[in-house]
Structure 1
Amino acid sequence: MVKLKDIKCFHTERTWAFPLGITSIVCLFLLATCFNMGLLPPLYKINSFFPLFNARVSSNHSIPHYAEQKVISSNLQSRTSTPRFAYLISGSKGDLNKLWRTLRALYHPWNYYVVHLDLESDPDERMELASRVERDPMFVKVGNVYMIMKANMVTYRGPTMVSNTLHACAILLKKNKDWDWFINLSASDYPLVTQDDLLSTFRNLNRGWNFVEHTSELGWKEDQRAMPLMIDPGLYENKKSDIFWVQPDRPLPTAFKLFTGSAWMVLSRSFVEYCIWGWDNLPRTLLMYYTNFVSSPEGYFQTVICNVPEFIPTVINHDMHFISWDNPPKQHPHVLNISDTKNMIKSGAAFARKFGQDSTVLDRIDSELLNRPNGSFTPGGWCKDGSSCSEVGKPTRIKPGPGAKRLRKLINKLVRSAQNGNQCR
């Protein structure tokens, strides 16, 4: 027999069971909505507190790595396809014709080129360069030559040269995603090998190698460059003037190790991306430090790459240049002439500097090393109509010459040294 109190209890349970069910449904709906809108942490974070979710979550989610940890991109792996080079060729007042000659000697339809005449050059010079680029039938057809129209002020001994280099890197990364190495040159540089020689030699290299001449032994540069503080007026004036000094001197840094070397280099795209994006902030920190550093182009990239453990194994201690210096070196190297030809060839380097305007040694390089007719492009497998190179055939058709053998011998030696761990010392 059912008692009255049992009937009352049963009735009471029914009165609160229905609201409880409705409330549970609403709560589940709100919880799902919050996950979907990102108002609650994702399941993999909740899972770190509640192991109960392990069986289901682990198969579909993984805890992400920190952004700073991803430094080396996939292009470090060796590839068999033809590599691409991205060039910056820069000049200053009076360098128009030198820059134009260097550009044509270096041109290949498979590569990319940024040209820049700094703010010290006459406006007429810059307009003439822009006009030549816009009117050249090859450049118009292929579309791989770009000019920096808003000229930068560049002072060699100040940080503005580093800024200009990074500017060109950013342009190249924005316009094209498929190049492999960045090469910075000036109008006073000239190639010692054809682009086919260069492409052929680099074709089988690991795309992560960086050719950066460097040393941590600062020597006299410690007192005369690292510790003094200077200001580069090129950062805020529209006319070039020399740097000036401020007091007091500063001590050597303790947060990072300083390196120095050549201002000319061949950089992998992965390292260039790191310098531009700077996801662990080191490139920006060092850029601010080198703002007051004498001849910062000879230290900025060296110090960045040698303070990142992931990039140290990629460094090859060479700038791919033949340069004749005094001992000890002065601010500028010797101007090369005919008597330097033998040593240039013997070096196996891809480029040389520095050359004067229309020097006879350039004519000799054109005829003996590049097989380049006067004023034309350097012939290569891409030329559809032979040595005149007025028509593009297959851009990836490569015809290496004797220069490839010289360059390959040098690079093989350098790679062996790098693989033995002789980097960033």
Structure 2
Amino acid sequence: MSEHHSTEHPSTDQTTGRRARLAYLITSYGDGVQLERLVRTLRTTDPGAPVVVQHDETHHPVRRDPLEALGVHVLVSPERIEWGDLTLERARWRLFGWVLDHLDVDWVMLLSEQDYPTAPASVLHGRLLDATAASSNAIIESWPIDEVPDPGIRAEAQQRYRFQYTKLPSVDLERRLPAPLVRAVRAVRGIAIHRLRVHRMPVRIYGANDGLGVPARVGVRALRTPFTRDAPCWYDNSWFAIDRRAMRAVVDRVRSDPALVRYFERTMIPVEAVTPTVIGNHPDLRTEHASLHSIRWSDPTSGRPDEYTVEDVAALLDSGLPFARKFGPDPRVLDLLDEHLLAQTEERSA
């Protein structure tokens, strides 16, 4: 049963010194520079927690020696991870299965290589111990799609998950047109997309996003969905912590229900819906509806959250949240975070 809880929690770990049995799961595809730095910081601030990396080498190869020297479990994705389709979610399901088979932990925290801690590890451990004491199995900021507080995001979620989409072939037309015509084409496309949505037509169009490598898609309202009044589709920000029982429930469901997987394969950005839908509708699982990440969106339609800079460090440290995303290649902001985090870690362990 999914229940709402307050986002305020006493830091059990800080007062008792106990640690949750936790593993960090990192999906990556970059050149490894940010990944290695994140792993080293996790190893320094939380040395007892296993770190498991699943890397997509079709984008960049990864240097395994430095990671394995730190005791990191390095897995290679068997498929190319693309933004916007089910490949990232399948990568997470593989990680869940691997953890269930190989690690003796109770919780996992999902991260990307562009995440970074913004509070001592004891804060996250305290949150997880409190969740365990409250019989919660997941800490996920999630809602049924019809109850998403922001009306714009609510409409977007309904469009993503109640329609079935097909990729359109790329003809690279815009690359061959002069800039004024490209702007005109994009304006016309935007008007068409808006009209289809406003008039509640059973067709939707997503334009290609070259920056994210996402092809254009056309969608038709599904005549039948796997959702019901009592088992709705859920939406989340895709970064969360779940316990072993929830991992097992997710792995078992996607293995035993291929129809559910096929349905989500034809939705937009299923990584923000499938796992929270399985957990949110499970009769024996409880969810604490809260975020463990600071994430800022200046333009939600871009598909990319803001990159934090040195000007954001004070606010991130004051947030009280264990992690933030995302961070770019500029090391200065991470240097400042490390300076504060390592000092706080040493102070708490003294």
* TM-score between both structures, scaled by the size of structure 1: 0.59
Aligned residue for 1:298?
272
> Residues 101-153 of structure 1: CA distance to partner in whole angstroms, max 9, x if unpaired?
1111112342111112213323xx32x2x12233x2x52xxxxx210135431
Q: 1:368 to 1:109 in 2, by over 3 A?
A: closer
From 359, 363, 385, the equivalent of 2:335 is: 363
Which runs of no fewer than 5 residues in structure 1 stay unpaired? 1-77, 140-144, 234-239, 373-378, 382-398, 402-425
Give, in whole Å, the separation in 1 of the partners of 2:270 and 2:127: 30
Identify the residue that residue 29 of structure 2 maps to in structure 1.
Answer: 92
In structure 2, what residue type is equivalent to 1:325? W
Q: What is the rounded CA distance, in whole Å, between the counterparts of 2:168 and 2:87 in structure 1?
A: 8
Aligned residues: 279
- TM-superposition CA deviations, 1:131-183 (whole Å, max 9, x none): 2233x2x52xxxxx21013543111211000000111111111112x211111
Corresponding residue of 1:116: 54
**Residues of 1 paired with 2:336 and 2:116: CA distance?**
12
Structure 1 residue 267 corresponds to structure 2 residue 245: no
- Contact 1:85/1:112 (8 A) holds in 2: yes
* Greater radius of gyration (CA): 1
Task: String of CA shifts for 1:228-248, please: whole Å, max 9, x gaps.
Answer: 413599xxxxxx953453564
Is it true that 1:221 corresponds to 2:157 in the alignment?
yes
Matches of 1:279 and 1:103 in 2, distance apart?
29
Q: 1:345 aligns with which of 298, 317, 320?
A: 317
Which residue in the other structure is 2:105 paired with?
A: 179
Identity %: 22
Tell me whether 1:250 sits opposite 2:250 in the alignment: no
Structure 2 contact 83–214 (Cα < 8 Å) conserved: no
Once the two structures are superposed, the pairs formed by residues 301-380 of structure 1 within 5 Å of their partners are: 301-311=275-285, 314-326=286-298, 330-371=302-343
C-alpha change, 1:252 and 1:264, in structure 2 (3 Å) is farther
Asked if structure 1 preserves the Cα contact closer than 8 Å seen for 2:119 and 2:317, the reply is: no
With a CA cutoff of 8 Å and minimum separation of 6, indicate the structure with the bigger relative contact order. 2
Distance 1:271 1:232 in 2: 36
Identify, as 1 or 2, the structure richer in strand: 2
Are the structure 2 counterparts of residues 295 and 250 from structure 1 closer, same or farther at C-alpha, using a change threshold of 3 Å? Answer: same
Tell me, in whole angstroms, the C-alpha distance in 2 between the residues paired with 1:266 and 1:226.
Answer: 26
Shift of the 192–84 alpha-carbon distance from structure 1 to 2, 3 Å rule, reads same
Q: Contact (CA 8 Å) 1:117, 1:151: kept in 2 or not?
A: no
1:4-42 residue CA offsets vs partner (Å, 9 max, x unmatched): xxxxxxxxxxxxxxxxxxxxxxxxxxxxxxxxxxxxxxx
280 and 90 in structure 1: CA distance in 2 versus 1, 3 angstrom threshold: closer
1:151–1:82 Cα change, 3 Å = same
Cα separation, 2, equivalents of 1:101 and 1:270: 31
Alignment map for 1:162-241 (pairs within 5 Å):
162-176=89-103, 178-206=104-132, 208-209=135-136, 210-216=138-144, 217=146, 218-230=154-166
Report the TM-score, using the length of structure 2 for normalisation. 0.70
Tell me how far apart the structure 2 counterparts of residues 200 and 308 of structure 1 sit (CA, whole Å).
25
The CA distance in 1 between the partners of 2:168 and 2:334, in whole Å, is 34
SS of alignment partner, residue 294 of structure 1:
coil
